[in-house]
Amino acid sequence: MIGKSTMKMYTIKEISDLAGVTTRTLRYYDEIGLLPPAGIADNGYRQYDEENLLRLQQIMFFRELDVPLSEISAILDRPDFHLLDALENHRASLLGRARQLDALIRTVDNTIESLKGTRTINAKELFEGFDETKYTQEAQERWGSTPQYQQSQKKWAAYSAEEKKAIKEKGADLTRRMVGQKADISPDDAEIQKAIGEYYAYLNTYFYTCDVEFLRSLSAMWAADPRFARNYDAVRAGGAQFVREAVGIYCNNHPA
């Protein structure tokens, strides 16, 4: 029993069944030194003890938090690693994630009610609960070496908190308008194209100097990456692909 000294040993199959981790994964963890077994039985089979169970639990907690295996190994093998401290940190991180998921569930529910006509929500409410830091990191990885990204970072840092709030709200409203709410609306609709034009001006005004081809590449990324697509698909099904087509029409009609 965990917390008491016992000599209970587990086979790799038993560990696999307990944790829901494949035996192939457990063998790989052994190969890279992340989870070596406590011993090898006379028949050559791996044997795991309860310390192994606790270490595997830590590995799985860190994997839930998207920590790479190489970093997990370094963390667990640090001389100052303390299991209780790690568990307290996991608890705090998971509580934060739970709060975010609760907010996302409310956003989904509110959006469903809005689309059914039983509730009215504003543009900002479409994006409650999303983790902006994920998109910031994604943007840096994709565009960090471009002048547009560097310009946007410089501009954003200069805005006050009130200005940032207003800019975000304007962006959320433009997103809703670019997607459109009517199921039968087409990407070349005059109102959709007007919203695309305003969004194009919005980027150039508040973030960076952007030509139409850069706008076209942005729309392709929005549609291709689920992390971005869900912002548009949350307004209505297929929203990201719809916006990509609408942006393509806009760019074709406004060549650089």
Cβ-Cβ contacts under 8 Å for 250 (sequence gap 6 or more): 193, 196, 197, 200, 212, 215
Residue scoring higher pLDDT (147 or 72):
72
Sheet containing 46-48: order of strands: 10-11, 46-48, 39-40
- The domain defined by 10-78 folds into Multidrug-efflux Transporter Regulator; Chain: A; Domain 2 (1.10.1660)
Res. 1: pLDDT tops 50:
no
- The Cα 226–Cα 17 span in angstroms is 32
Helix (H, G, I), strand (E, B) or coil at 166: helix
Residue scoring higher pLDDT (175 or 129):
175
Helices 50-64, 12-19: inter-axial angle, 10-degree rounding: 40
**What pLDDT is recorded for position 17?**
93
Cβ-Cβ contacts under 8 Å for 169 (sequence gap 6 or more): 123, 124
Q: Per-residue confidence at 252, pLDDT binned at 50, 70, 90?
A: very high
Q: What is the pTM of this model?
A: 0.47
Determine the CATH number of domain 131-253: 1.10.490.50
- The Cα 181–Cα 58 span in angstroms is 45
pLDDT, one tens digit per residue, over 59-70 is 998 887 777 787
Q: Which two tokens stand for residue 8?
A: 């209970």
pLDDT, one tens digit per residue, over 104-125 is 888 888 888 888 888 777 766 7
Q: Which two tokens stand for residue 72?
A: 């997990």
- The Cα 138–Cα 243 span in angstroms is 20
Q: What percent of the chain has pLDDT over 70?
A: 88
Lowest-confidence pick of 47-56, 162-171, 181-190, 231-240: 231-240
Question: For all residues of the chain together, what is the average pLDDT?
Answer: 82
Q: Per-residue confidence at 132, pLDDT binned at 50, 70, 90?
A: low
pLDDT, one tens digit per residue, over 184-228 is 889 999 999 999 999 999 999 999 888 888 888 888 878 877 767
Res. 177: pLDDT tops 80:
yes
Helix (H, G, I), strand (E, B) or coil at 145: coil
Domain limits, the chain: 10-78, 82-121, 131-253
Residue scoring higher pLDDT (184 or 181):
184
- The Cα 90–Cα 64 span in angstroms is 10
Cβ-Cβ contacts under 8 Å for 151 (sequence gap 6 or more): 207, 208, 209
Strand partners, 39: 47
**What pLDDT is recorded for position 130?**
67
- The Cα 103–Cα 159 span in angstroms is 27
CA 127 to the chain's CA centroid: 13
pLDDT, one tens digit per residue, over 36-52 is 999 999 898 999 999 99
Helix (H, G, I), strand (E, B) or coil at 188: coil
